Amino acid sequence: MSLELNNIILHSLVMGNEGQLVCRTRDQELPVNNSVNHLVEELQSSYQSKAGKGFGFFSNEEDHNGEFSRLLQQVVSDETSFVEFSQSAAHLLANEVSKYEFAEEGVLLLAKYTWVASDYLLLVMLANKDTVMVTDELDISSSRHLDLSKAQLAARIDLTQWQREPESNRYISYVKGRVGRKVADFFLDFMGCQPGLDAKQQNVGLMKAVDEFCQTQALPETETKEYRETVFNYCAEQLSQGEEVELKTLAEVLPEQQNEASFYDFVSQDYELEERFPVDRSTIRKLTKYVGSGGGLSISFDQKHLGERVVYDELTDTLTITGLPPNLREQLKRK
């Protein structure tokens, strides 16, 4: 699905002569051309596919962290230009980052675009990377380019949802960042964003509801596995298309029970699930797999193999695996 790019601009955060972080801003938007479009589409695709994103909303605009949302409202209402908004936002970010000892240089990209009938604002902190290349004349030349692979500081605001559902707790999404350097430390603070919807918790709740529904219906083991696989396939398909879990739609694709029990009615009772929520890849795979790691050992196998190719002995805490994967077998033989 292609996007329609409306505005894009870059600002840089660099270290000044006195070791202070300085914000250098552009005075004009970047021209929208094929190269720029390709860049934003690549960032959008990369952002969409990132697992474990967090979701939130703007905190009370009366507090000291409401400046960003006020500026954003002005540009959405055409009270100010995108350039002026982006410059003010860049200075806000520089001031926030300067509070931390690990302040680093980087390029702040702000892009406003339309995708799947919604307007979005994407904010990404990008790092410059120096590379060495061989020219056509076989000379060595150095160049600097944006390292898109390390875009770990990023957030996206669903402007359409924000305007239509200001009470929502999930119109802002963000990459949680690397361990030990959480994006919430400064990137969310600069936007005045409060953590909201917990997508992982929603997915865990869905898994619990599926298991307990199968138990209440006294489904045989084979039917329970099929039920879990149907849920997994639906969630995986939604994830691949950039869509979310919709409980009513999910209930419609599940097999009907003889007593006409409704999964939607069941899950709506005590599980406190949203009508729709993002898919968490690491959680839903547990619907069809047993996964575990620790102490230098990682194990993953389809649940259907338990009791057949894989046997667990609780007394000795051991797994017996019959029929190793060929690539693992060859590695073991070489040793």
Distance, CA of 196 to CA of 44 (rounded, Å): 22
Name, in order, each residue with C-beta under 8 angstroms of 103's C-beta and a sequence gap of 6 or more.
21, 97
DSSP bridge pairs for 276: 246
Distance, CA of 175 to CA of 51 (rounded, Å): 8
- Cα 54 to its chain centre, rounded Å, is 7
Res. 64 pLDDT band, cuts 50 70 90: very low
Between residues 307 and 258, the one the model is more confident about: 307
- β 172-174/54-58 pair status: antiparallel
Which alpha helices (DSSP H) does the chain contain, by range?
34-49, 67-76, 82-97, 159-164, 187-191, 199-216, 221-240, 247-253, 263-270, 281-284, 326-334
Overall average pLDDT of the 45-52 stretch: 82
Residue among 95, 75, 70 at smallest CA distance from 9: 75
Overall average pLDDT of the 95-100 stretch: 80
Structure tokens at 184: 């919430």
Q: What is the pLDDT of residue 56?
A: 92
**Whether the predicted pLDDT of 243 surpasses 90:** no
**Whether the predicted pLDDT of 178 surpasses 60:** no
Res. 15 pLDDT band, cuts 50 70 90: confident
Res. 179 pLDDT band, cuts 50 70 90: very low
Overall average pLDDT of the 223-234 stretch: 91
60: which DSSP letter?
-
pTM of the complete model: 0.79
Q: Please name the helix (run of DSSP H) or strand (run of DSSP E) that holds residue 270, with its range, or none.
A: helix 263-270
Q: What angle do CA 172, 175, 178 make, to 5 degrees?
A: 150
Helix, strand, or coil (residue 7): strand
Between residues 234 and 46, the one the model is more confident about: 234
Percent of the chain with pLDDT over 90: 46
Q: Are 232 and 304 in contact (CB under 8 A)?
A: no
**Whether the predicted pLDDT of 145 surpasses 60:** no
Overall average pLDDT of the 291-297 stretch: 87
- What residue ranges do the domains of the chain occupy? 4-197, 200-285, 288-334
Res. 177 pLDDT band, cuts 50 70 90: low
- Cα 277 to its chain centre, rounded Å, is 12
**Whether the predicted pLDDT of 32 surpasses 70:** yes
Residue among 99, 72, 81 at smallest CA distance from 27: 81
Overall average pLDDT of the 134-152 stretch: 67
Tell me the one-letter amino acid at 24: R
Overall average pLDDT of the 270-282 stretch: 89
Q: Please name the helix (run of DSSP H) or strand (run of DSSP E) that holds residue 288, with its range, or none.
A: none
Distance, CA of 308 to CA of 302 (rounded, Å): 11
Q: What is the pLDDT of residue 242?
A: 77
Q: Are 189 and 69 in contact (CB under 8 A)?
A: no
